[in-house]
């Protein structure tokens, strides 16, 4: 290592960190390599932090240590939340990331002002505006998901014009500062207006769209970090921010496609505002229900079973019982596969993570397109705590808020069994005609205990 100067060593470490970030994203895209992806990302981030600590410009370690203790004090408990709370936890992480980018941008302005170049002021202005709106927008998103704030979209006439005018004002203030960086009084006003815009941006969006919004805010946080990288002349921050920004954006596009929604519809559509119900006035629909013994008998006499998990499996933490069911049926020669909808649960990859935790073999997990071609030849589709992602109204009811969303075609299986606790709707708040079909049996109960009961019945020979 003697041939390298300390600066070169730091740069080399940054390059290794950047490569690890890229590999991390690549590996995270498949359940088989996802664990490696997490490790690569963590090691990359640790290397970037350590290399920065050796930066000769760093003069006082006292503040770094204080920040480390405060950050760890907040980060460690945040990392221990239940998996179903990960979307709001992620929103909080974006809020903190954006807050730090904003504060560094503010500090840079005051360190340099009034001698800020036009280019430098453009960078700082953009970075602080995006950072500020991401900070408040992410806090509102976390509050909605945690149900501290109302989940429903809060809308009023002329809302988009008001919101766009507020954003426009922040941009005009930034432009004035680019031309006159010495008008220092305008800077905090610009920050305040951008913070206010973040609130206006997210309040009209309903809870159902929050995961998509969070992924979009993720991309804004990345963009603001990349801009901060330009402000601070930090290449690793530019690379990490650009990767974060672009991957967040791609994820939002994937989620929009999986729900057949456009970006504008997510941002301005106020989805979930009107709680529609498929129940026509006075119409009484009949459902057929079954108990664990009957379900066990149907499952064990099937030759092909497709299990479709959803949010309810996550809430009930039923994945290990589902694994036991998988084992029991496979032992009896039943071909069991899992149909994974891209937006099942409350975050992308939610079902994959849970089923991987329960050691379900990856080759048994089929994505929506693959499982849909199997379903017409499937004896039993067993739905465990999923609802919207199986709702045939998305195919047939043009008036439904989820019309056009691709679904798992469980209604094409010969028999459909649905484990859920009641007839309550899912996240989109709409009725599911699947439950009233002739081939459907409702298995009312908590996912974990009901699946456990079925496993016991099969083991006890109740299957035949
Ligand atoms: P869902 O439509 O929200 O339905 C979940 C069902 O689980 C509910 O109907 C509920 O019925 C049942 N349930 C809850 N707790 C249960 C328990 N302990 N045991 C058994 N059942 C339980 O879920 P989904 O089908 O997975 O669909 C996901 C929804 O989230 C979609 O609308 C999707 O667009 C939206 N979304 C997801 C993402 C993402 O990234 N995954 C992003 C944006 C939006 P009961 O109350 O009757 O039990």
**Digit-coded pLDDT (tens) for 107-132:** 999 999 888 999 999 999 999 999 99
Report the pLDDT value the prediction gives residue 271, as an integer from 0 to 100: 53
What pLDDT is attached to residue 55? 87
Mode of pairing for the β-strands spanning 365-367 and 380-384: unpaired
Give me ligand 1 centre to Cα 139, in Å.
Answer: 23
Determine the pLDDT at residue 278: 45
| CB burial string 408-442: b at 16+ within 10 A, e below | bbbbbbebbbbbbeeeebbbbbbbbbbbeeebbbb
For CA atoms 236, 239, 242, 247, give the dihedral sign. Answer: negative
What pLDDT does 155 receive? Answer: 81
pLDDT at 270: 54
Query: Ligand 1, residues 253, 387, 444, 447: which to mutate, most atoms within 8 A of Cβ?
Result: 387
pLDDT band at 280 (very low <50, low <70, confident <90, very high): very low
Average pLDDT over residues 181-194: 96
Can you give the pLDDT at residue 348? 81
Indicate the range of 125-129, 146-150, 154-158, 219-223 predicted with least confidence: 154-158
Of 273-287, 352-366, 379-393, 448-462, the range with the lowest mean pLDDT is 273-287
Q: In the chain, pLDDT over 90 holds for what percent of residues?
A: 69
The Cα 393–Cα 228 span in angstroms is: 46
pLDDT band at 275 (very low <50, low <70, confident <90, very high): very low
Mean pLDDT value across the chain: 90
Confidence class of residue 274 from pLDDT cuts 50, 70 and 90?
A: very low
Return the ligand 1 atom nearest residue 424 CA. Answer: 47
Q: Which residue's CA is the closest to the ligand 1 atom numbered 18? A: 316
CB of 443 sitting under 6 A from ligand 1: no
Q: Which of 162-176, 272-286, 394-408, 417-431 has the lowest average pLDDT?
A: 272-286
pLDDT in the model for residue 268: 67
Q: Ligand 1 test: best mutation among 427, 448, 453, most atoms within 8 Å of CB?
A: 427
Q: Which residue has the tokens 């108990």?
A: 291
Does 331 have pLDDT greater than 50? yes
Query: Residue range 205-216: average pLDDT?
Result: 82
Say if residue 38's pLDDT is above 50: yes
Q: Is the CB of 410 under 6 A from ligand 1?
A: no
Instruction: Grade residue 279 by pLDDT with cuts at 50, 70 and 90.
Output: very low
Ligand 1 probe mutation, 151, 216, 311, most atoms within 8 A of CB: 311
Assess whether the C-beta atom of 346 lies below 6 angstroms from ligand 1.
yes
User: What pLDDT sits at residue 302?
Assistant: 97
| Of residues 272 and 331, more confidently modeled | 331
Q: What pLDDT does 328 receive?
A: 97
More confident residue, 285 or 328: 328
Q: Looking at the predicted structure, is the pLDDT value of residue 369 above 70? A: yes
Question: What percentage of the chain carries pLDDT values higher than 70?
Answer: 95
Residue nearest (by alpha carbon) to ligand 1 atom 13: 312
Catalytic residues: 388
Closest residue by CA, ligand 1 atom 11: 420
Ramachandran region of residue 234, left (φ > 0), alpha (ψ -120 to 50) or beta? beta
pLDDT at 283 (0 to 100): 60
What does the pLDDT read at residue 20?
Answer: 97
Read off the pLDDT band of 57 (50, 70, 90): confident
Mean pLDDT value of segment 297-323: 96
């Amino acid at each position: 290592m003697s041939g390298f100067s300390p600066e070169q060593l730091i740069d080399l470490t940054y390059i290794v960190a950047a490569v690890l970030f890229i590999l991390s994203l690549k590996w995270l895209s498949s359940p088989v390599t996802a664990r490696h992806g997490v490790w690569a990302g963590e090691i990359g981030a640790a290397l970037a932090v350590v290399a920065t600590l050796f930066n000769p410009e760093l003069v006082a370690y006292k503040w770094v240590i204080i920040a480390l203790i405060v950050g760890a004090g907040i980060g460690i408990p945040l990392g221990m939340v239940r998996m179903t709370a990960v979307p709001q936890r992620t929103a909080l992480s974006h809020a903190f990331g954006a807050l730090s980018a904003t504060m560094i941008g503010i500090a840079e302005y005051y360190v340099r002002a009034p001698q800020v170049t036009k280019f430098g002021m453009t960078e700082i202005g953009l970075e602080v505006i995006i950072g500020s709106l991401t900070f408040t927008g992410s806090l509102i998103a976390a509050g909605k998901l945690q149900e501290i704030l109302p989940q429903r979209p809060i809308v009023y006439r002329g809302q988009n014009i008001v919101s766009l005018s507020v954003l426009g004002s922040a941009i005009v203030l930034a432009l004035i500062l680019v031309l006159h960086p010495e008008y220092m009084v305008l800077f905090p006003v610009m920050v305040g207006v951008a913070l206010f815009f973040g609130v206006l941006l997210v309040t009209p969006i309903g809870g159902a769209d929050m995961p998509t919004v969070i992924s979009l805010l993720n991309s804004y946080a990345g963009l603001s970090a990349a801009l901060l990288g330009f402000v601070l002349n930090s290449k690793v921050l530019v690379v990490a921010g650009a990767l974060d920004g672009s991957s967040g954006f791609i994820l939002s596009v994937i989620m929009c496609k999986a729900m057949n929604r456009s970006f504008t519809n997510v941002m301005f559509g106020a989805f979930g505002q009107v709680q529609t119900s498929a129940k026509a006035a006075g119409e009484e629909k009949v459902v057929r229900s079954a108990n664990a013994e009957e379900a066990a008998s149907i499952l064990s006499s099937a030759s092909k079973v497709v299990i479709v998990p959803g949010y309810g499996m996550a809430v009930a933490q039923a994945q290990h019982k589902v694994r036991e069911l998988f084992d029991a049926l496979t032992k009896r020669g039943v071909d069991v596969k899992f149909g994974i909808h891209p937006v099942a649960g409350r975050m992308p990859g939610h079902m994959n993570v849970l089923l991987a935790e329960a050691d379900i073999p990856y080759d048994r997990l089929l994505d929506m397109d693959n499982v849909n071609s199997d379903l017409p030849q499937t004896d039993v589709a067993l739905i465990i705590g999923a609802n919207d992602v199986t709702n045939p109204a998305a195919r047939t009811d043009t008036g439904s808020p989820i019309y056009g969303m691709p679904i798992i075609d469980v209604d094409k299986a010969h028999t459909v069994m649905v484990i859920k606790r009641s007839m309550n709707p899912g996240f989109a708040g709409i009725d599911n005609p699947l439950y009233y079909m002739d081939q459907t049996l409702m298995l009312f109960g908590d996912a974990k205990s009901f699946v456990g009961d079925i496993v016991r019945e099969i083991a006890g020979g109740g299957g035949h």
